Chains A and B, each alone.
Chain A
Amino acid sequence: MIKAFVNDIPVEVEEGTTILEAARRVQVKIPTLCAHPDLPPSAACGLCVVKIKGSQKMQRACCTPLEEGMEIVTHDPELVKVRRTIVELILSNHPNYCLTCGRNNNCELQKLVADFAIRDELYDKIVRDLPQDSSTGTIVLDPDKCIKCGRCVEVCQILQDVWALSFLERGFNTRISPAGDIQLAESPCIKCGQCSAHCPTGAIFEQDDTRRVWDALLDPAKHCVVQIAPSVRVAVGEGFGLPPGTDLTRKTYALFRRLGFSAVFDTCFSADVTIMEEGAEFTERLKAGAERLPMITTCCPAWIDFMEKFYPEMIDHFSSVKSPQQILGVLAKTYYAQDRQIDPASIVMVSVMPCTAKKFEITRNDDMYASGSQDVDIVITTRELIRMIRQIGIDFLNLPDEDPDHILADYSGAGVIFGATGGVMEAALRTAHYMVTGENYKRFDFKELRGLAGIKEASIKLGSETLKIAVAQGLANVSQVLDRVIAAQKAGKPLPYHFIEVMACPGGCVGGGGQPYPVTDEVREARAAGIYRADRDSPIRYSHENPAVQALYNEFLGKPLGKRSEQLLHTSYRARPLYKK
């Protein structure tokens, strides 16, 4: 342990703790703009400078470890003056159209300018007029608003191992862009949106599709239906001051009706359907032997994009089951349309997702039009939903609880935990066990698969077999798992894993790229806890025991992997080049 002083307050911390963190322990908040707990310190902004007694230099608190006996001064008139000057300088290189910025009222730079009471702009405004990049249709790059903190680049390179974003040019002309100055859509970008979730300003943000939703809702010829993803329910309340993890499922159902949707569905239901198909597929592959194992989950569209670009040799290992969003979309335009005698072409399927890549998934390939038209029409993120609620002036938190439209909404506890890392695997194992052995597993919880570790491994007895499981989150961790599989295959050794779950975003969908700001491990844990509470409190814990799912198979689909399922609920993959020309 290290003993030192921060503003004369004694502090004791583990070796290696930064001054920034040590100060926080004694209730001193040093201002920062580039530091983020998910990322190694980049030391770019210079705001967190502090003084160490005995030295004339100022040191960055974000990257300087506290040492024994250090006496830190975090605030004095000189430090405040230096920090103010830095904020003023950054402001001189930042456009002033806050009012029309996606981060208005939620911008880390704006907050600092307010905190430092900057009233005049002392220095010449120098802003380059750089073009926006909205080529992906999911996230938009606005390089003029970039303060070069480097978070997005670190996220893309270190957290996700995608390397779509980098810095181009140098000095004052430094800007974020894909290497080679190409459009984001031509780059390896997988649209996960983690860059937008970490950006302190409005330089990277989700493409706003709320107007398209309003247009559809206002069109009397359209029959608008909506689905809400598992992880949205535990995060949307943050937009209204509730702590992360507060489950607002039934209020959002009421909300959707007030917004004007004709039917309210829940993606947790289609998650249960996914499990039925995936469980059956896994059982089949297990019987067939090692050739098509391990099987890898495919709920995450950013992960699909990543695998098609970076690991095309693993395509055969991908589950062919569509994601819950797409399954709900196609069922709404077939099963539901039939049931209600509605023209599928008049249905507008809107989904509310924690994710920017979901905007990309809905037109990913021809299979996304299995119903005869586009199965999901518009995707909005949690952040966009919050905006819609505010626009229309609904007192969201005081809405009464309502029920959804049961036909495509009732779900088991297994369906809701899709929103957290390890959840898909846990849900699949619950049902796979039943499918293989004919009886339910004696415990519901696979605690070893929960939590924020990058790679989680477990061995689970399934009948006579011991299954080896891996769960990876954050794409930088995925390569390790896949490389192990590839190495074993090449060496002709036994498979290290039978079944692998991958979620692109840290924490899974609760930490999705479209979730409310800010995102830290504490927030991810709190949201996941909300999800696991919902599972715990669920009367039904197995997808195969969900009566709505059973009804779907009895009335419409037949059996998992049956002819209709194959036609509507499954898809295929193909290798894609990293760089489009």
Chain B
Amino acid sequence: MHRGKRILIKDTGATGPDRTREFYSGFLKHLVEKKLDDAVQPVRVADIGLYDAGVVVHILPDDIVYAGVEEKDVAPIVSQTVCEGKTIKRLLHEHRSLQTRIVLRNCGVIDPENIDDYIGVDGYAAAAKVLGGMTPEETIGELKISGLRGRGGGGYPTWKKWEFTLNVDADQKFVICNGDEGDPGAYMDRSVLEGDPHSVLEGMIIAGFAVRAGQGYVYIRAEYPLAIKRVQHAIDQAYARGLLGKNILESGFDFDIEIRLGAGAFVCGEETALIASIEGKRGYPSPRPPYAAVKGLWGKPTVINNVETLANVPRILLKGGEWFSGIGRILTKGASRGTKVFALTGKVRNSGLIEVPMGTTLKEIVFEIGGGVARGRALKAVQTGGPSGGVISSDFINIPVGYEKLQKLGSIMGSGGMIVMDEDDCLVDIAKFYLRFCVDESCGKCAPCRIGGVQLLRILTRITDGEGRVEDLEKLRTICHAMQKASLCGLGQTAPNPVLSTLNYFEDEYREHIERRHCPAGRCQKLFSYAIDQDKCKRCGLCIRHCPVHCIAGNRETGFVINSEECIRCGRCFAECKFDAIQRD
């Protein structure tokens, strides 16, 4: 029996009390009876990938999923499935899984602080295969077949980066793992670094071998203390096992890895700024060419790959490029292959990290994996690619997700943020939100991004404050265009995307703000006010009790009035009133 057997438990019921505690105790009791409590561990988990399926039990590593489990089922699950490996057909959850886990394959499954757990699931087998008998050229060739492209946002073919670096003659070369994940709401890289750090190290070792580098750096943002701790622990273990350092696996290949911490600048995820940051300089991007592959860290050829990209590498080398390239729906020639991890959030019923094959449609992601729009509202748009991504209107919900398609629609894949928006979301407000992030995170080096962003923000603020002018739309487009074309780095070039894409799909909404001083989603607080309809008001006083700024005057005899001057338009009275007496206009 596998020593790491686990029983994951989650009550996915939408209503009623959470029953996982009882199930946990039940499993424990039966495991103790069978003297299996050392070998098998029941775990209450926050997410199990299923919804509205009652209590779900997921047995690992056998990957058996039971849904609608009742307390009486606990004993047979332990005696039959855990002990004898038999499945109970009656409980078996048959679902068409839209998810394919390559990058997240080990997250939550193995103990990230135990290298043996990783080795137990074929960990470091790819490194052994590559170091033990492949040439750098063959290694890169396998990546080429796989079609793996950078998962950090740029989407550049990974094999090309490696090949360029391999072909430059230098006394020293570097491999950098970019773990400076900074998109709001995105935590794909963090999950991998925390949950499966060895897969990233293994990817780096293979990269180092393939480009003939001797030193690797894992650049992790300082805001990820657990990731830093786990990666450092993994590095120490790898050294102790001879998987890092001199003569790795007796192959004659030497490779060292150290951690470098980011100091909290989003722009340091941009590779030239990241290099400057490691060199101890101000995190300013620099013009390319020269590319990092030719002149990178300390002027030496350097491969920079994102965490997710590197986590794919061992799997590809172990199972072959053909295997990887077979994952995902073929959209066009040379299209995106493999899987992509997304952080699905926003107005969606089931939010969380998902990993889907390239080519999965937005609709499948939102409505099947995500369980649809929360509270039964109508889908308005999906925002992808983080702060520099774009908003895609619900009209395009059937598009398959991939680098090319998203770009065509004015968005990007980015590092994999995906935010679902419903009819209560104001797109002007959304654009303002994302833009503010980019303005805050602009490094300030180049004029188009530094000043353009602030001016865009001014105009958007004006519009949401009800002071927009008709010519503002043209101004927005002009500034966006200049930023896209003349900003120095990717941050500035893509910062206007949220504005341009919302302008593109929802210009009417902008116009309504400007021409009618009205926010259709009811979000822009300065564009409406609250009043009490005295005919409907029953003078219950509930609104007074909930008003946080005490701007409702009156008593039960005379009736109540909202003082519009003092009202902060929080909407609590509107929500609380049982008689629809609060009017919003």
Contacts and interface: CB of A to CB of B under 8 A. Distances in A.
- Whether A and B are associated in the same complex: the answer reads yes
Nearest to A48: B486
Interface string B231-271: 00000000000000000000000000000000001000000
B273 to A, nearest CB: 11
Contact of B481 (A43, A82, A90, A173): A82
B448 A46 contact: yes
B347 interface: no
A110 interface: no
B479 A85 contact: yes
Interface stretch (B53-61, B222-230, B439-447): B439-447
A90 B453 CA distance: 12
A166 B488 contact: no
A379 B155 CA distance: 59
A430 B446 CA distance: 51
A122 interface: yes
A480 B497 CA distance: 48
A150 B443 CA distance: 13
A82 B486 contact: yes
B289 A64 contact: yes
B158 interface: no
Contacts of A172: 439, 442, 444, 450-451, 453-454
B100 interface: no
Nearest to A56: B485
Given A64-B289, A92-B455, A174 B444 contact: yes
B282 A93 contact: no
A166 B475 CA distance: 33
A523 interface: no
Contacts of B284: 167
A43 B447 contact: no
Contact of B486 (A41, A46, A124, A150): A46
A81 interface: yes
Interface residues of A, number: 39
Contact of B282 (A57, A124, A167): A167
A123 B456 CA distance: 9
B442 A170 contact: yes
B407 to A, nearest CB: 11
A58 to B, nearest CB: 5
A327 interface: no
Contacts of B572: none
A169 interface: yes
A449 B478 CA distance: 54
A86 interface: yes
A44 B486 CA distance: 10
Contact of B485 (A45, A49, A64, A90): A49
A45 B452 CA distance: 12
Contact of A43 (B286, B442, B450, B455): B286
A172 B488 CA distance: 15
B444 A170 contact: yes
B447 A90 contact: yes
A83 B287 CA distance: 18
A148 B445 contact: yes
Contacts of A531: none
Contacts of A122: 475
A166 B481 contact: no
Contacts of A147: 447
A44 B488 contact: yes
B487 interface: yes
B482 interface: yes
B504 to A, nearest CB: 17
B21 interface: no
A43 B486 contact: no
B458 interface: yes
Contacts of B450: 93, 148, 171-172, 174
A89 B448 contact: yes
A43 B452 CA distance: 16
A186 to B, nearest CB: 21
Interface in A55-86: 57-58, 60, 63-65, 81-83, 85-86
A154 B265 CA distance: 22
Given A64-B289, A171-B450, A172-B450, A123 B444 contact: no
B277 to A, nearest CB: 13
A33 B486 CA distance: 14
A173 B454 CA distance: 10
A551 interface: no
B451 A124 contact: no
SS class of chain A's interface: helix, strand, loop or mixed? Answer: loop
Contacts of B481: 81-82, 85
A86 B446 CA distance: 10
Contacts of A166: 282
Contacts of B458: 123-124, 126
B443 A45 contact: no
B90 to A, nearest CB: 59
Contacts of B446: 43-46
Contact of A90 (B282, B287, B440, B451): B451
Contact of B441 (A86, A89, A167, A171): A171
Contacts of B439: 171-172
Contacts of B488: 43-44, 46, 60
Contacts of B444: 148, 167, 169-174
A49 B452 CA distance: 16
Given A58-B485, A172-B439, A123 B455 contact: yes
Contacts of B282: 166-167
A81 B480 CA distance: 12
B442 A171 contact: yes
Interface string A21-38: 000000000000100000
Contacts of B453: 171-172
A150 B451 CA distance: 15
A166 B488 CA distance: 20
A122 B459 CA distance: 11
B287 A60 contact: yes
A44 B487 CA distance: 9
Chain B CB count within 10 A is highest, among A65, A82, A169, A172, for A172
Nearest to A43: B287
Interface in B475-512: 475, 478-479, 481-482, 485-488
A15 to B, nearest CB: 13
Nearest to A87: B447
Contact of A86 (B265, B440, B445, B448): B448
Contacts of A45: 446-447
A85 B287 contact: no
A138 B486 CA distance: 37
Nearest to A33: B447
Contacts of B487: 46
Contacts of B287: 41, 43, 60, 63-64
B447 A58 contact: no
Contacts of A60: 287, 488
A221 B487 CA distance: 60
A338 to B, nearest CB: 57
B318 to A, nearest CB: 37
B441 to A, nearest CB: 7
A46 B451 contact: no
Interface in A434-487: none
Contact of B447 (A41, A44, A124): A44
Contacts of A170: 265, 442-444
Interface string A132-169: 00000000000000011010000000000000001101
Interface in B416-460: 439-448, 450-455, 458
Contact of A81 (B265, B448, B478): B478
What are the 5 closest A-B residue pairs judged by CB atoms, nearest first?
Answer: A174-B444, A46-B486, A85-B482, A171-B442, A63-B287
Given A148-B444, A167-B282, A171-B440, 6 more contacts: A44-B445, A45-B447, A47-B486, A123-B455, A123-B475, A173-B444
18 contacts: A42-B445, A43-B287, A46-B446, A46-B487, A81-B478, A82-B481, A82-B486, A85-B478, A86-B482, A89-B451, A89-B455, A92-B455, A93-B450, A126-B454, A126-B455, A148-B445, A150-B445, A174-B444
